[in-house]
Amino acid sequence: MITCLLAVSVLGGKSQAQDLLSNVYGRDYQLLNGKWGAIVDLYDQGERMQVYKNRKPQDNKQFYEYSFDGGLVLNVPADFNSQMPELKFYEGTVWYGRSFDTPKTDGKRLFLYFGAVSYRSKIYLNGEKIASHEGGFTPFQVEITDKVKQKDNFLVVKVNNTRTTDAIPAMSFDWWNYGGITRDVMLVSVPQSYIKDHFIQLDKVQSNLIRAKVTLSEAKPGINVQVAIPELGIRQNMTTDANGIAQATIKTKKLQRWSPDAPKLYDVTITSESDRLNEQIGFRNLYVKGEDIYLNDQPIFLRSISFHEEIPQRRGRAFSEADATMLLSEAKELGANMIRLAHYPQNEYTVRLAERMGFLLWEEIPIWQGIDFKNTATREKAGRMIKEMVISDKNRCSVAFWGIANETATSAPRNEFLKHMKQCCLDIDSTRLITAAFDLVRFNRESRDFEMNDSIINILDMVAINKYMGWYHDWPLAPDQAVWNVAPGKPLFISEFGGEALYGKHGDAEVKSSWSEDYQAQLYKDNLEMFKHIPNLRGTSPWILLDFRSPFRFHPHQGGEWNRKGLVSDQGQRKKAWYIMRDYYNQQNNEAQNKTLHGCPPPDLYGLERACPRKE
């Protein structure tokens, strides 16, 4: 089995495993956000010219054909495409540079942390290359303790968003290829010996056992570590093993389990002999039994919605708390209890706010359609990216699913690739449910039902299907006759359905090419009718919350760059289908509430006793 490497190339390009600092926002940090000098390097000449040295003429005879001063200025964080019209379609290299003074660290260690840089980057500090990273949607860091001066450090980031066949995503994908330093940049200081990683959560099944694992920066045994959860009266002492890892199973009783309806988070403090880290953690049970998904021992129906990490009104990447609030508030109004964060890991503001607001999350890396599954280097790259995602968000109880692919075609190399992705997730987190979205359901004209023949579903906890009935596929029979026989014995989730509509365009409810709200509304009604005939359906996720930008889309209705499948327009206006979906989710929620009131937990799972709640 190929191991799943976690590697940020540092020290001039040699790979070394470098775990991500856990919970940087709970650390002592300084943001390097703001206005950076920038150079658009259309022919990729900057390395030859050594722009990363940021040299200035020292006498009358010297000159340099670049400068980070007095020229282009770009905002960080933000994609560069939305910052000036000339960069709207730009794919290539942009150099960013800025100076900074080192925060007072009195003997602490200093890390440079990037929330994300899209798509590939090289990091230079004071003229020296210190790191490189590939992947536009996961954080990475590099230690700079011994590389910084007190004053006037100069940081240069080479960013390139050119698509390549071995990239993830590869050459074509249905969203805008935003490039740039698209998330926060931080200087994070930690003690010499610090808490490098922690993983604290409720057991998958047992509601009275908290599993805690704390990893220190030094692989030394016998160091005292404590996990405290004051509200639960927990102060669990542990000691590290020879790998610097301390772990414990903590018994608790009076726990309020996190759920979308009651997103309870607890203050957790992790201390070692030299470090202290504060966290907010939710505790919930999550498992699959048969065709049901159980959250806190109750079967749950996933009222999901997807959104891209994009604010359509400003035609750019979302990156802030305010952006997260806009997107998640719109999802809450829809009555959703889950978000499929499409098609890539999204920023920490969104993930943490979703947890606070009460959304389950499906997170995925952009293994989207045409990936070079035969390329082992691509497989290792994908393994690293998926591990960066899992390491970053494994303490977020709202994360329920790790998604390992979207719309991949059946093949042996694809199967091996996806098994590797699943293993990379399980290596770090054996608790989340593994899923993937497929567009392989076909109508069988003999048996008159919808089927999928692909053995890959056997490795999944939940099978997800993208199916555009009424849009890419016409109805072979009336929606109320459409019976599905897909993945019997497993929970099935409709991870995408829908069609395009221009907000404000009405009439022509029968005409697909009208792009009318009425056509889209009827399409939604028809699909919701079909969903009643999917016996193992356990959730739906319309594609998509908001109209979004895509170079795939050429029609005037699409304005030459918009995918109009949003329930909400690019200006935030709700289309007719939004109200249809909102009513459907409200109905699902009411039914679930009734069941919970009078239901009992499932038959004993893993032989655990459960008291059935008192009948109302």
Binding site for ligand GCU (CB under 6 A): 174, 343, 406-407, 439, 466, 496, 543, 563, 565
- The distance of closest approach from Cβ of residue 545 to ligand GCU in the complex, given in angstroms and rounded to an integer, is 12
381 with 417: CB under 8 angstroms? no
- The distance of closest approach from Cβ of residue 163 to ligand GCU in the complex, given in angstroms and rounded to an integer, is 15
Q: Which residues pair with 213 in a beta bridge?
A: 199, 247
Spatial distance between the Cα atoms of 548 and 175, rounded to a whole number of angstroms? 7
In this complex, which beta carbon is closest to ligand GCU, that of residue 114 or of residue 401?
401
In angstroms, the Cα distances linking 214 to 227, 235, 250, 388, 426 are: 9, 14, 13, 17, 18
In this complex, which beta carbon is closest to ligand GCU, that of residue 201 or of residue 516?
516
536 with 493: CB under 8 angstroms? no
- The distance of closest approach from Cβ of residue 407 to ligand GCU in the complex, given in angstroms and rounded to an integer, is 5
In this complex, which beta carbon is closest to ligand GCU, that of residue 301 or of residue 438?
438
**Backbone Cα Rg of the chain:** 25
- The distance of closest approach from Cβ of residue 500 to ligand GCU in the complex, given in angstroms and rounded to an integer, is 8
Spatial distance between the Cα atoms of 14 and 94, rounded to a whole number of angstroms? 24
Spatial distance between the Cα atoms of 219 and 217, rounded to a whole number of angstroms? 7
- The distance of closest approach from Cβ of residue 537 to ligand GCU in the complex, given in angstroms and rounded to an integer, is 18
- The distance of closest approach from Cβ of residue 543 to ligand GCU in the complex, given in angstroms and rounded to an integer, is 6
Class of residue 493 by CB neighbours under 10 A (exposed 0-12, middle 13-18, buried 19+): buried
Chain CA centroid to CA 472, Å: 27
Q: Which H or E run includes 584?
A: helix 576-598
Task: Name the residue number minimizing CB distance to ligand GCU.
Answer: 174
- The distance of closest approach from Cβ of residue 280 to ligand GCU in the complex, given in angstroms and rounded to an integer, is 32
Spatial distance between the Cα atoms of 413 and 376, rounded to a whole number of angstroms? 10
**Three-state SS sequence of 593-606:** HHHHHHCCCCCCCC
Q: Which residues pair with 469 in a beta bridge?
A: 473
Sign of CA dihedral 54, 183, 384, 372: negative
Write down the residue that tokens 């001063």 correspond to.
Answer: 69
230 with 247: CB under 8 angstroms? no
In this complex, which beta carbon is closest to ligand GCU, that of residue 200 or of residue 311?
311
- The distance of closest approach from Cβ of residue 552 to ligand GCU in the complex, given in angstroms and rounded to an integer, is 7
In this complex, which beta carbon is closest to ligand GCU, that of residue 77 or of residue 366?
366
In this complex, which beta carbon is closest to ligand GCU, that of residue 215 or of residue 558?
558
Query: Cis omega before residue 491 (within 30°)?
Result: no
In this complex, which beta carbon is closest to ligand GCU, that of residue 59 or of residue 474?
474
- The distance of closest approach from Cβ of residue 571 to ligand GCU in the complex, given in angstroms and rounded to an integer, is 19
Chain CA centroid to CA 295, Å: 21
In this complex, which beta carbon is closest to ligand GCU, that of residue 23 or of residue 563?
563
Sign of CA dihedral 560, 119, 322, 588: positive
3-state secondary structure of 429: coil
- The distance of closest approach from Cβ of residue 401 to ligand GCU in the complex, given in angstroms and rounded to an integer, is 16
In this complex, which beta carbon is closest to ligand GCU, that of residue 37 or of residue 345?
345
In this complex, which beta carbon is closest to ligand GCU, that of residue 372 or of residue 547?
547
